[in-house]
Structure 1
Amino acid sequence: MRVSGKVVVVTGAGSGIGRELVVALLAQGARVAAVDLKEEGLEGLVASSQGGEGLSTHQLDVTDRRAVRALPEEVIAHHGAVDVVINNAGIIQPFERVHELSDEVIERTMDVNFYGTLWMVRAFLPHLLERPEAYLVNVASMGAFLPVPGQAIYGASKAAVKLMTEGLYAELMETSVRVSLVMPGAVATDIAANSGVSMNDADGGSEPDEGYHALAADKAAAIILEGIEDEDLHILVGSDARLMQLANRIAPKSSIRLIQRKMRDLLGDA
């Protein structure tokens, strides 16, 4: 699908990949409804994007089912229709083992990453099905197929998004709605800070591999939009995501050991 002239809803639009998606979509001639929990992020987006009438902002918590149910009518009132929904909003968990996490952290991680995506799908899908051409995009993670110690609940939430999205792909194959699943690797964003997770412990651990750099958020957005244009089911973002998907399929135990070694200093040896 080409996004020019389409109305696109983007969650998590105030920073990181979401912000870069909005900027790129506007540049390609789309109209965008930018959704984010933080009003200041949306205000900064408006100030920097020069989207004009083609950009609307919607401050909303995706875990609030009542607010999410009302969102389609808000978007349609401003833009006249909805053609594409990109569910990008997400958080990570503190770098702790499953038994060390609080119930509240576990519930919040699942609520934002899985249920927030589910509520958005259920709210917007009836409207997408009315369009002659429509698209649903859910952003998961490399952690959806590769377990990361210290991010087990985050990975479980994204694995749930993965399987749900693949199920939606099967359910919607004979409709006008195309479906893509995005699985980014390491991308340079503020997700840790936005999730309330301190990275001080990570910074005090082993040095990152020499020459390794997280993918820039604007490059990640470009890959996602290219995948949408090509109507790919799986959109792998970054060389690490592509490499680790292959490694996990060929040698799952070895790939898990590799990640475990890299995370050992962060979690301790116990």
Structure 2
Amino acid sequence: MNDYSNRVVIVTGAGSGMGRAMVHEFTSRNARVAAIDVNFERANETVAGLADPSRARAYRADVSDPASVQRAVDDIVAHFERIDLLCNNAGVLDGHAPAHETSIEEWNRVIAINLTGPFLMAKAVIPQMLKQEKGAIINTSSTSGFSAAGGGTAYTASKHGVIGLTRQLCFEYGAKGIRVNTICPGATATPLAMSSSPDMEAAIRSFPAQRWCRPEEIARLAAFLGGDDADFVHGSDYVMDGGWLTAARDPF
């Protein structure tokens, strides 16, 4: 079990779902955690709900806004004095609309949060990691990073882009001590996902695991990828989907 004593972890989208589960997981492993969310109250609720709230600190940041991201990262470095792991977990769904029905406003919103957000967060933390000569980044993609049908045009494009971003960052920074990997969840029991489509329950019955993934399971995978046990893991895309992709059929 990876121990995170004396390590600082940033989690975006920390106000609910997988992000909240990650904050709980990392603090349980003795990490100090910066819990970022666009909704400060939700981030603060996450911190307040910890067994030891002193291990984490809530921050408000809009990951799609360069100035907001940089302010948050500067504050985190000033307070914690280092950054060991960034978990780019913040994300949104689209309306499952086909391309000709997707507005440019919806396209820009989804790409800004799901793809530009991880880029901006990585851009802001990498200088600190380079000073330390070590760090790790975990980007959250999706099974929609490999196939269609899990979302609409904007969501699917954004999650494919996250995988490409991970691979390029790995290429650029792996030899400088920064590991970058991707987690690709399938149907995960978060408030956002469970309300996204009336067809989800039927879809879940069609793949091997036949259940929702629990956010805590994703958090444990993140804790493995971010720690020393995964020191040789670079540029990989870890699918945790209960066999969704293996089933090789469109569940919708």
Identify whether the pair has TM-score above 0.5, normalized to the shorter chain: yes
Matched to 1:237, the amino acid is M
CA RMSD across the alignment: 2.2
Instruction: For 1:30-109, list aligned pairs within 5 A.
Output: 30-109=31-110
Q: Is the 8 A contact 2:189 2:212 kept in 1?
A: yes
Instruction: For 1:127-142, list aligned pairs within 5 A.
Output: 127-142=128-143
**Equivalents in 2 of 1:36, 1:167: separation in Å?**
26
**Could you give the per-residue CA deviations for residues 117-156 of structure 1, whole angstroms, max 9, x where no partner exists?**
1111111111111114211111111110111165222011
2:127 paired residue number: 126
SS of the aligned residue for 1:174 comes to: helix
1:251 paired residue number: none
2:211 paired residue number: 213
Q: CA deviation at 1:208?
A: 4.8
Instruction: For 1:121-270, list aligned pairs within 5 A.
Output: 121-148=122-149, 150-192=151-193, 199=197, 201-202=198-199, 208-209=204-205, 212-229=210-227, 230-231=230-231, 232=233, 233-240=236-243, 244=245, 255=248, 258-259=249-250, 262-263=251-252
**Equivalents in 1 of 2:204, 2:161: separation in Å?**
29
Structure 1 residues 92 and 26, CA gap change in structure 2 (3 angstroms): same
Q: Indicate the larger mover: 26-35 or 231-240.
A: 231-240
Structure 1 residues 87 and 130, CA gap change in structure 2 (3 angstroms): same
Q: Is the 8 A contact 2:106 2:154 kept in 1?
A: no
**Could you give the per-residue CA deviations for residues 2-30 of structure 1, whole angstroms, max 9, x where no partner exists?**
53321001000111111011001001010
Q: CA deviation at 1:104?
A: 1.1
The higher radius of gyration belongs to 1
Matched to 1:226, the amino acid is F
Q: CA deviation at 1:172?
A: 1.3
Structure 1 residues 236 and 208, CA gap change in structure 2 (3 angstroms): closer
Q: CA deviation at 1:171?
A: 1.2
Q: Is the 8 A contact 1:91 1:192 kept in 2?
A: no
1:25 paired residue number: 26
**Equivalents in 2 of 1:3, 1:170: separation in Å?**
26
**Equivalents in 1 of 2:203, 2:117: separation in Å?**
34
Structure 1 residues 4 and 208, CA gap change in structure 2 (3 angstroms): same
Q: Is the 8 A contact 2:10 2:87 kept in 1?
A: yes
Matched to 1:47, the amino acid is A
**Could you give the per-residue CA deviations for residues 45-90 of structure 1, whole angstroms, max 9, x where no partner exists?**
1221144332111111111111111222100122121111110000
SS of the aligned residue for 1:187 comes to: coil
**Equivalents in 1 of 2:204, 2:217: separation in Å?**
21
**Equivalents in 2 of 1:122, 1:18: separation in Å?**
20
Unaligned runs of 5+ in 2: none
> TM-score, structure 2 length as denominator?
0.88
Identity, in percent, stands at 27
Q: Indicate the larger mover: 99-108 or 7-16.
A: 99-108
**Could you give the per-residue CA deviations for residues 179-227 of structure 1, whole angstroms, max 9, x where no partner exists?**
111111111112248xxx754x447x95752772111111121122123
Matched to 2:20, the amino acid is R
Larger relative helix fraction: 1
Aligned pairs, number: 244
Q: Is the 8 A contact 2:102 2:153 kept in 1?
A: no
Q: Is the 8 A contact 1:129 1:176 kept in 2?
A: yes
Structure 1 residues 207 and 144, CA gap change in structure 2 (3 angstroms): closer
Structure 1 residues 206 and 8, CA gap change in structure 2 (3 angstroms): closer
Q: Is the 8 A contact 2:210 2:242 kept in 1?
A: no
**Equivalents in 1 of 2:171, 2:196: separation in Å?**
39
Q: Is the 8 A contact 1:10 1:85 kept in 2?
A: yes
